[in-house]
Amino acid sequence: MSLSEHLTELRSRLVKCSLAVLVLGAVSLIFAKPIFGVLMRPVLDALPPEGRSLVYTSGIEEINVLMKVGVYCGIFLTTPVILWQIWGFVAPGLYPEERKYASPFVVLGSVAFIVGSMFCYFLVLPSMFKFLLNEEETLALEQRMDTARMGSEDALRFLRIGEVERAGHVAKETSAALTAAGEGQVQDPQVASAKSVELTARLKGLGDLLDAAADGMGVPARGVLRQAVEKRVEAVTAFGKQDYVASEAAMDQSASLLAGVAPTRAEEMSGLWRLQKELAKGHAEAEAARWTRPMLTMNEQLSLVLLLILAFGVIFELPLVMALLGIVGVVQSRWLIRYQRHAFVVCLIAAAVLTPTGDVVNLSLMAGPMLLCYELGVLAVWLIEKRRAKAEASTDITPAA
């Protein structure tokens, strides 16, 4: 075939691939929104429960995102067609015995692409987005706070049914666990802002404590509860005037009056208030630690996820591509082995560029499969050369005269 005939053949193959992408992409558009939800699951799972959402910054961004999902799904589904067209383009230059590898090439290539994509989706993306969107110290603090809040809710439930002793016991255990878990951690919040957040949470905790005591103690404690509520009103007023010292003192007085509701259980009531104060302090520290919050757009996250999934799909195709180049005689195993160290460096650089995080785990998750696929490609080329040499040797043997 002449050069123009090769170009015509290449154009014909590209047109067929484009038509396949167009048809399958149009079909994928029907299910674009559910597919987008599946693709974004690793991103959303890495966000806090109250902030698991993506934003769009223009009126047509959502439509563009869904169209992009359809196109990329079309490319993903067209992988067998693309591989078949690649094989059809190089097949005229192969020996007849080598052309029988067409079906294995297409099947194994499709499987390798799917395995690479699944490897990225289930292993790389979750760890990567957790690293990007969560700081370890902040995440640990939030987990402690969630556990302590559940303990506080249980203590208030016991108080509502009149079980003051049991409520105090739960509050003491929860307070001790929260204090022990937070020892040795250095916090550097902005003082005024952190104090405001802390007192806001403390006022809410005092209100919950007063409500629980009113439900559990009944009519005999109404007079003392009224005085405690009046002190809380004073605390709210002082807080509105930014007199944090007076507000804190008024809240402590309200809690002291509340302890008089059950004089025999004053220690337990004091423990409940101490727990609310520690919860408020922990809440302020958590808010101070999370002074940056992600606001992720649909388009950017989709582009990142699709880039990584396609990159891993292509990486897992590397052994087959190297085997194909070995079949047509473009590369040789001894040449690949000689420049093996250079290939390792290139793989590490490519993994560092493609991986948007700086941690060793995600870099290893991309560089490791890349290096393994290169080694498998070298092995495949060596086996092809060995098989070819054996076949040539058998054809050179002629029967003795």
More confident position, 347 or 219: 347
Query: What is the predicted pLDDT for the residue at 376?
Result: 92
| pLDDT interval class at 135 (50, 70, 90) | low
76: CB partners within 8 A, 6+ apart: 113, 117, 313
Q: Residue 172 above 70 pLDDT?
A: yes
Provide the residue type at 288 as one letter.
A
Which contiguous run of DSSP H or E holds residue 5?
A: helix 3-28
- State the average pLDDT for the chain: 80
Of 291, 266, 316, 285, nearest to 111 (Cα)? 316
Q: Residue range 159-165: average pLDDT?
A: 67
More confident position, 188 or 12: 12
Query: What is the predicted pLDDT for the residue at 36?
Result: 94
3-state secondary structure of 185: coil
Q: Residue 348 above 90 pLDDT?
A: no
Query: What is the predicted pLDDT for the residue at 157?
Result: 59
Burial degree of 163 (CB within 10 A; 0-12, 13-18, 19+): middle
341: CB partners within 8 A, 6+ apart: none
Q: Residue 162 above 70 pLDDT?
A: no
Q: Residue 304 above 50 pLDDT?
A: yes
DSSP state of 58: S
Highest mean pLDDT among 86-90, 269-273, 302-306, 320-324: 302-306
Query: What is the predicted pLDDT for the residue at 189?
Result: 39
Q: Residue 23 above 70 pLDDT?
A: yes
**Interval 73-127: pLDDT, tens:** 998 899 889 888 888 887 777 777 767 777 788 888 889 999 999 999 998 898 8
Q: Residue 65 above 90 pLDDT?
A: yes
| pLDDT interval class at 255 (50, 70, 90) | confident
Query: What is the predicted pLDDT for the residue at 400?
Result: 47
Query: What is the predicted pLDDT for the residue at 325?
Result: 84
- CA–CA gap between residue 199 and residue 218 (Å, rounded): 28
DSSP state of 191: H
Q: Residue range 134-149: average pLDDT?
A: 62
365: CB partners within 8 A, 6+ apart: 123, 124, 127
**Per-position DSSP letters for 264-330, written without gaps between them:** GGHHHHHHHHHHHHHHHHHHHHHHHH-------BHHHHHHHHHHHHHHHHHHTTHHHHHHHHHHTTS
For residue 56, give both structure tokens: 């769009």
Q: Residue range 307-326: average pLDDT?
A: 88
Query: What is the predicted pLDDT for the residue at 88?
Result: 83
Longest dimension (CA), the chain: 124
Of 6, 32, 209, 155, nearest to 92 (Cα)? 6
| pLDDT interval class at 206 (50, 70, 90) | confident
Q: Residue 24 above 90 pLDDT?
A: yes
- CA–CA gap between residue 113 and residue 317 (Å, rounded): 6
Of 322, 324, 274, nearest to 94 (Cα)? 324
How many beta carbons lie within 10 A of that of residue 62, not counting itself? 15
The model carries a pTM of 0.65
280 neighbors 274 (Cβ within 8 angstroms): no
Report the chain's C-alpha Rg in angstroms: 33
Query: What is the predicted pLDDT for the residue at 137?
Result: 53
Q: Residue 161 above 60 pLDDT?
A: no
165: CB partners within 8 A, 6+ apart: 265, 268
Domain locations along the chain = 3-133+294-394, 137-291
Q: What's phi and psi for 55, nearest 5 deg?
A: -110, 160
How many beta carbons lie within 10 A of that of residue 315, not counting itself? 26
Query: What is the predicted pLDDT for the residue at 158?
Result: 64
Q: Residue range 224-250: average pLDDT?
A: 81
| pLDDT interval class at 38 (50, 70, 90) | very high
254 neighbors 206 (Cβ within 8 angstroms): yes
Q: Residue range 147-176: average pLDDT?
A: 70
- CA–CA gap between residue 354 and residue 367 (Å, rounded): 10
Q: Residue 34 above 90 pLDDT?
A: yes
Q: Residue 181 above 60 pLDDT?
A: no
Query: What is the predicted pLDDT for the residue at 147?
Result: 64
